[in-house]
Each structure stands twice: as C-alpha cells, then as structure tokens.
Amino acid sequence: MNRFENILVALDLNSGETEHLDVAAELAQRTQAALSLAYILPNKDLQGGLDIALKAQATELLEKHREELSKRGIEKVSVHLQRGEIVQSLLQIAKSTDADVIVLFEKHAETKHLVSLLVKKIIRVAPIPVWAVLKGSKKAIKKILCPVDCSPASKEALKVALDIARLYEAQVHTLLVYEPITHVPTLVKANLQEVNREGYAQAEQQFAAFLQVFDSKALSNELFQGEARAKILESLAGYDLLVMGTTGRTGISRFVMGSVTEAVISNATCSFVTTHAQTLLPERLEEEISQIEFHMKVTATLLNAQKPKEAIKELVECLRIDPFYVPAMLKLVGAYEQQGDVHRAKQCRRQAENILERLWGKTLTDEIIKDFASR
C-alpha cells in the first residue's frame, strides 16, 4: 500500500522558496501521487487594489507551478486558493483533498532561528504527517534518523520512516534514549543507582520487543542513556532526514516525545517529518492501563508474600506512569506499614487524601480504602 497518495504543498508568495515543492514533486514521482498546491490569502481584505493584485499574483504563481510540474510528468495537480486563517485553511484543504502529508518550507537552518510558530502550530494540530523542508538541506535522502520511545506514537513514526526509506532506497537508524531518574518523591525510599540499572535493563528488553515487529534490512538501532534531546541532536549529524512522533510516553523511558520532538526539530540541521499520534491516543491509554494493571497485580502478590520492599518498587512504577493514581498510593500505605515505616505510610495517606479532595471532592473513608485495596 502506498502511504503517500495525496500530497499537499503549502506555498508562500513572499518567500518565493520552492525547495519544498521540489521535494514534494520528487515524492509524487516516486509514488505516482496527486499533488495539491495551496496558497492562503490574508483573512481580511487589503485596502485599495492590493487585495486584487495579491489574488492575481497568487493565481499566476499557482498556475505557473502547475505547468512546471506537468512538464516534469506530474499530471495529477490541483491548485487551491483560499482566504482565511492559515492553519485552519490548510487543514480544510488537507481534508478536502484527502491529503496523506503536508509539505512545508522552513528556513531556520539558515537563519539559526527556532522553528517558526506557524510551523509548530501546524505540526501540533495536523492529523497527518508534516514534512518540513529546511532551506539549504540535502535533497538526496539516504540516511534517516528515527528516535523512538517504544510508544504507539513512535511506532507510527518508525513505520513512516521505513516507508520513506523504501521509496528512496535509504537506511533508517532508530535510537532509544533511557533518561535516568535523578530524584524521587521524598515519601519514597529508593536506591537511584539500582533503580536506573534496572530501568536501563528494562529499556533494553522493551526496545528489543518493540523492534521485533519491524522486519527490515534497512533498519539499525542503538540504545543510549542520558538526556533525550541532547543525545538525539548529537546523533543527528550526517543524516538527511529526521522522523519523529509528536506525542507519546512510556513508564520505562520517561521519554515525552511531544516536548522532546519540539526541542529537537528547533535545532535540527536537516529536513524533518513529524507524525501525529492523535488517532493513537486510545491505544496509548490502553498500553498505560495495562502497565498499571500488571504492576498492581505483582504488588498484590508481593504483599501477600510479605515482601513490602519489592512491592514498593512496583508501586513506584505505577506512580511514574500516573502520579495521581490513588490506588497505588494507598497500596504504598499498606506496604510501608508492613515494612514498619509508619511515618512514610502517613505521608502516602495524606497525599492520597489531598488528591481525592482536590480532584474529586471526596474525603478518604474506610469504604474508599477498602474499595481501592481490592484493586
């Protein structure tokens, strides 16, 4: 199945840049896709004859590009001239043309500015991949970098990266960054060195399981430990394209792809593709719920076996996934009481009471404790 059957290109009359149009045209040639060229006029009418002149100039530009694309053998080209707010108008055109990707121009590689607010906004709200072509970046795509966090969002990003690699006969290198824990809530006693050693080992296992579904000779992988943004940017040198998911989170890596992706693309030295995980939200929530259920079941077994220390580790994992999960806090109360640490048991109970009262307007009662204890 061809992922890119309909390509939307956003044109800018002021910049006059066409590098992104060249990239879109090459993609269309490789996939036999339809190209849609969009130009968005200002939302408000300009004074005098400026509005008429601008509209005429934009129409001329669109037709010029259509003719040039036709000479390159791309016959399925449509033009769209629309007035309105840029982001909303682009999304409307993307929906009406059934676009699979939006191709934009981004000049920050030359100006050393961060990604424009407009591009950021489009990336955040677009339900389809956004391909931002940086000014002066390489056009030949031979090496693709795809950082992941083993979430459904990064799974989708890696699928897109491999699809692009097949089209351009390129190689994909995927990497996972385990960010070590540097502090924990004061109510939890933990040996951070031991926790991070175990966390890294779990990240290795999770990464291996994540990659099992991707059977491709074009794929290589690497696991790092450190600060995600810095490690990804260090690894980016020499790559022609970056592909990242825009949201995603796992309990093990603590890698939040929304904020990390924004930080990375703002400093990227090559063009980048972002994939949106909005449609994957139910899958991500299901994954997190499954992780919490697993840790809570293990906790119950450990507490029954009078192993509170091991149970506390499982409950800490639950609270890393969801810091407001009251059942885990109340299980911590029982675990610390079993361990003889009355002070920490009281701290956990107060924290659970505070969350219940502030978020749900409920007071912690024996009935609620009994209900949560059974989970």
**What is the arrangement of strands in the sheet containing 143-148, beginning at the earlier edge strand?**
77-83, 34-41, 6-10, 101-106, 130-134, 271-275, 241-245, 143-148, 171-178, 219-225
Whether 1 is in a domain gets the answer no
Same domain, 259 and 342: no
Structure tokens at 29: 């040639």
Residue 198: pLDDT over 60: yes
Same domain, 148 and 232: yes
Helix (H) or strand (E) holding 133: strand 130-134
Same domain, 194 and 254: yes
DSSP string covering 225-279: ES-HHHHHHHHHTT-SEEEEES----TTT---HHHHHHHHHTT-SSEEEEE--GG
Same domain, 362 and 299: yes
Q: How far, in Å, CA of 95 to CA of 82, rounded?
A: 14
Residue 362: pLDDT over 80: no
Residue 119: pLDDT over 60: yes
- Total domains present in the chain: 3
Q: Tens of pLDDT along 303-341?
A: 999 999 999 988 988 888 888 788 888 899 999 999 999
The pTM of the full predicted model, rounded to 2 decimals, is 0.70
Last residue of a domain, one of 276, 297, 318: 276
Same domain, 196 and 108: no
CATH number of the domain at 318, please.
1.25.40.10
In the three-class reduction of DSSP (H, G, I as helix; E, B as strand; rest coil), residue 85 is classed as: coil
* Cβ count within 10 A of residue 282: 9
Last residue of a domain, one of 232, 257, 276: 276
| Domain interval for residue 77 | 6-134
Q: Tens of pLDDT along 3-27?
A: 899 999 999 756 667 889 999 999 9
Same domain, 155 and 264: yes
Among 322, 324, 291, which Cα is nearest to 202's?
A: 291
Same domain, 152 and 250: yes
Min mean pLDDT across 130-144, 283-297, 330-344 is at 283-297
Contact at 8 Å (CB) between 143 and 240?
yes
Contact at 8 Å (CB) between 132 and 119?
yes
Residue 247 pLDDT class (50, 70, 90 cuts) = low
Residue 363 pLDDT class (50, 70, 90 cuts) = low
Please give the pLDDT value at position 66. Answer: 93
Same domain, 172 and 197: yes
Same domain, 115 and 13: yes
For the chain, what is the total number of helices (H) and then of strands (E)? Answer: 14, 10
Residue 356 pLDDT class (50, 70, 90 cuts) = confident
CATH number of the domain at 201, please.
3.40.50.620
Structure tokens at 32: 């036999």
Q: What rounded mean pLDDT belongs to the chain?
A: 82
Last residue of a domain, one of 234, 257, 276: 276
Same domain, 193 and 228: yes
Same domain, 59 and 114: yes
Which has more confidence, 364 or 265? Answer: 265
